[in-house]
Amino acid sequence: MDKIANLALSLKDELIKDRRYFHSHPETGWFTFFTTAVLAKRLSDLGYEISLGDKVVKADARLGLGSKEQCEKAIERAKKLLSPEEAKYLPYMKDGLTGLTAFIDTKRPGKFTAFRFDIDSVDVTESDEPTHRPYKEGFGADIAGITHACGHDGHMSIGLGVAKLIAENLDEFNGKFKFIFQTAEEGTRGAVAMEAAGVLDGVEYLLGGHIGFQAKTNRGIICGTNKLLATSKFDVHITGRSAHAAGAPQDGANALLAASQMALSMHGITRHAKGVTRINVGVLKAGEGRNVIAPNGYIACETRGEDTNLNDFMYERCMDIVKGVSEIYGVESKVVKTGGTNGA
């Protein structure tokens, strides 16, 4: 074990370099084409068997997909960033089937262990303040509107480090190992589609983690899975009826007011006595002009609960609100579930 620990410490500079490289080129959701290709090349070079595309993602089990135009734009960006050796993996990711697994067998009896790492970034523009370290030291995000603000760049570098340690010291280990690099973790969208594709088949131990700030020391590890909040992510698309705000307001059905009322009512849901519950409406868009009754609206929402039952309580109250407000304002509403997970 001392040998393995010393080898791990020797990877420090490489991990920092990898983390900053991924930080510089963030990708969100199902559009992690560059990231997946880079990981595939690195892991293949280490001797791992790489699986991509429909071998690791069940297309019809995906949630929270972006538009075809967004997908094509992300592919073109990836092509500009990738080397020819990396770009050869892109065809396997058709239609946004990103993410990968890497498998290696010691050829000795033992357990089948999997490690899981998330790889997507978040929809936040990175700071360009002079004191912001990535900006100051030249490894800030190379694209506006998205950045690795949740630590997944660090997760990937850790994953590559562990994979390298195992591959280059295979005689020190027994059993089989699989590395799962999961996309679309943000919004809790990606795990279901990868599990549905069978990436966990045969796995006996599954290990995962997240960089955080709760440990008492900067090298501490907190082990456990209790009180990870269950959550539901959903969008509400509201269709009203356009009318002139002065000439014929009675003919309209105001989707903007309906969206606003839904948002306010959701935030007014009574919290539950049996545990932590949360609600947030993070996006509200509606309307077309100042003198037009808004014919359309959209809200992006999430509920959370200390366990699955508590989250279900919040989600069901939200659905009651959507139904009631839609009737009051005379609009039609379509709820699209974009992600979710049970509590642990």
Kindly report, residue by residue over 6-42, the tens digit of the pLDDT: 888 899 999 999 999 999 999 999 999 999 999 999 9
Task: Please state which CATH class domain 2-208 belongs to.
Answer: alpha beta
Q: Reduced to 3 states, what is the DSSP secondary structure of residue 339? A: strand
Decide if 2-208 and 230-341 have a common fold: no
Domain topology for 230-341: Alpha-Beta Plaits (3.30.70)
The pLDDT of residue 342 is: 84
The DSSP line for 133-148 is HHHHHT-S-SSTT-B-
Q: Reduced to 3 states, what is the DSSP secondary structure of residue 46? A: coil
The vertex-145 CA angle with 26 and 230, nearest 5°, equals 75
User: Could you read off the pLDDT of 119-142 as tens digits, one per residue?
Assistant: 999 999 999 999 999 999 999 999
User: Could you read off the pLDDT of 298-325 as tens digits, one per residue?
Assistant: 999 999 999 999 999 999 999 999 999 9
C-alpha 25/C-alpha 14 separation (Å) is 17
The pLDDT of residue 44 is: 98
User: Could you read off the pLDDT of 260-273 as tens digits, one per residue?
Assistant: 999 999 999 999 99
Neighbour count for residue 268 (Cβ, 10 Å): 10
Nearest Cα to 163, choosing from 321, 54, 11?
A: 11
C-alpha 23/C-alpha 7 separation (Å) is 24
Task: Indicate the domain borders of the chain.
Answer: 2-208, 230-341
Spans of the chain, pLDDT less than 70: 1, 215, 218-220, 224-228, 344
pTM over 0.85: no
Task: Let me know: does 42 contact 162? Beta carbons within 8 Å.
Answer: no
